[in-house]
Structure 1
């Protein structure tokens, strides 16, 4: 069992750290929000009030933070506080270039770094069924695998540093496009007189099936796991989807890649969030589709 410092105990990081503690690891945690620290403490995580304090003596540092600037800030605090070799795992969703810059910072200090963003949302973090996509050396990946397993359904090595973030950007661009076209198909079906259950029963067993339908169907009373059953309380918010789409579009521009459908999805989620819907699950985009004429 490892001594782990977990930095970022929010909707994703809190359950992730709890799953590590439940697996028998010695887990200390930090978050700037006192309520998040208290909730993690109730789940078996030892809370601290600064990044520097929580990381002292830890063998593994895991970060789950809102953006790359915060990840870099926290990593610098940890490195400044204790200059010893250890493994850094960043499960935040940040730009590929940011991940590679932070990796250089960590490696220059004599430690190892993996970018390991996740897919699966809050439900996956709570159930320990996240999909980890990991970039970094094979040696660091092998070292991290047993650490990630209690939080994961799958753990995949994607190659060099930054490749975890690259796959995450591509995956969520696909997901956004799927969610929009699914919403369009459901609304078209509604206007043709098709019941939601009939739509689901056919499409979920046909070639049009997707996670967006089978798990996250944007209509109530069809799929038990759907946020639509709870007024679109987010498993994965529209604001976070927009953040990921912006990262994907930045990567597309950097690489000269034409991602026309991804660009349309980014525009639609941008408008949806600007209208005040950022706190809703990203499947709530169906409401915007229904309002189009």
Structure 2
């Protein structure tokens, strides 16, 4: 199958790189000619437009910065959607929006999938990231070879839209964890604790997490670089809030996180790296939360391995019953 990929940014460039590295027949398109040129130099085909990709490819993947960008690209592609075409939305987007766009694809005889990723850019780069996929089972089986090329752990989440819900749920948890890690590190420093020792205590305790073991390292290094910015955190928090509001869930912590990042954006700008939310506390206390021996960016030290489908715990028991 021929695959088209639209959006070669921080995440999309790494996911499409895994496809290219593993021999997939890949055509790429991006507003940045330099990014496209790089992929063409490595063996990809140059896409002229979203419409041309949908016309000439069996499946087209979009990985874009906003629901509005996905909508604009879909309007270009839609006239070229025919029986058997597949649209795979790997952007972090709204459940209702991906269902709306997906319905247009399905109406024309195509298939639609929301398949966002989770686990950080460093794992996207090595093909070891996790992928959620929302679609019917038949479509999931068709695209599974692509998904296991781009990611290590692939979870079929249910119908179209379900993956987008789980993506914003897990991003919400990551944001909450980032803020609490910042508060923990600053409090430990204020109490006179050595930050190298503090990092290890948090890592080997019940308080550890993926966020601590990755983002706390680049916080302590001072680079604060995880290739993710405050405006994207705010966007994802807003998407999570919309899911909760549609389902009548009275949130308490989420609005506080939005306020914190609104303040961070007002102080440092929307394109500031998201871990630099800790600067609010550094400035308030006069402390520098830095320690020697931590890397400036996260690198995935796991070897690239073939991906596989994750089976939810208890599913097999439910099927037997």
Return the TM-score normalized by structure 2.
0.84
Could you say what secondary structure the match of 1:56 adopts?
helix
Q: Deviations over 1:265-293 (max 9, x none)?
A: 11111221222343333222111122346
Give the structure 2 partner of residue 139 of structure 1.
Answer: 138
Matched, 1:275 2:274: no
* Cα distance in 2, alignment partners of residues 230 and 182 from structure 1: 15
Give the structure 2 partner of residue 189 of structure 1.
Answer: 188
Structure 2 counterparts to residues 15-164 of structure 1, below 5 A: 15-81=14-80, 83-164=82-163
Q: Deviations over 1:121-163 (max 9, x none)?
A: 3222212122111111111111111111121121101111111
Give the structure 2 partner of residue 241 of structure 1.
Answer: 233
TM-superposed deviation, 1:213? 1.1
Give the structure 2 partner of residue 256 of structure 1.
Answer: 248
Is the CA contact 2:59–2:86 (under 8 Å) kept in the aligned structure 1? yes
Q: RMSD in angstroms over aligned alpha carbons?
A: 1.7
* Cα distance in 2, alignment partners of residues 72 and 125 from structure 1: 24
* Cα distance in 1, alignment partners of residues 59 and 222 from structure 2: 37
Could you say what secondary structure the match of 2:56 adopts?
coil
TM-superposed deviation, 1:228? 5.2
Change (3 A) 1:273 1:42: farther
* Cα distance in 2, alignment partners of residues 200 and 33 from structure 1: 39
* Structure 2: gaps of 5 or more residues: 286-321
Is the CA contact 2:225–2:275 (under 8 Å) kept in the aligned structure 1? no
Q: Deviations over 1:21-77 (max 9, x none)?
A: 111110000011112212222333222231122333211110001122221222232
Query: How many residue pairs get matched?
Result: 285
Is the CA contact 1:5–1:27 (under 8 Å) kept in the aligned structure 2? yes
Is the CA contact 1:242–1:270 (under 8 Å) kept in the aligned structure 2? yes
Higher relative CO (CA 8 A, sep ≥ 6), structure 1 or 2?
2
Q: Deviations over 1:214-254 (max 9, x none)?
A: 1111xxxxx4xx36536223422222111100111122222
Is the CA contact 1:233–1:280 (under 8 Å) kept in the aligned structure 2? no
* Cα distance in 1, alignment partners of residues 123 and 39 from structure 2: 17
Is the CA contact 1:227–1:234 (under 8 Å) kept in the aligned structure 2? no
Higher alpha-carbon deviation: 43-52 or 90-99: 43-52
Could you say what secondary structure the match of 2:43 adopts?
coil
TM-superposed deviation, 1:90? 0.4
* Cα distance in 1, alignment partners of residues 79 and 178 from structure 2: 43
* Structure 1: gaps of 5 or more residues: 218-222
Is the CA contact 1:17–1:40 (under 8 Å) kept in the aligned structure 2? no
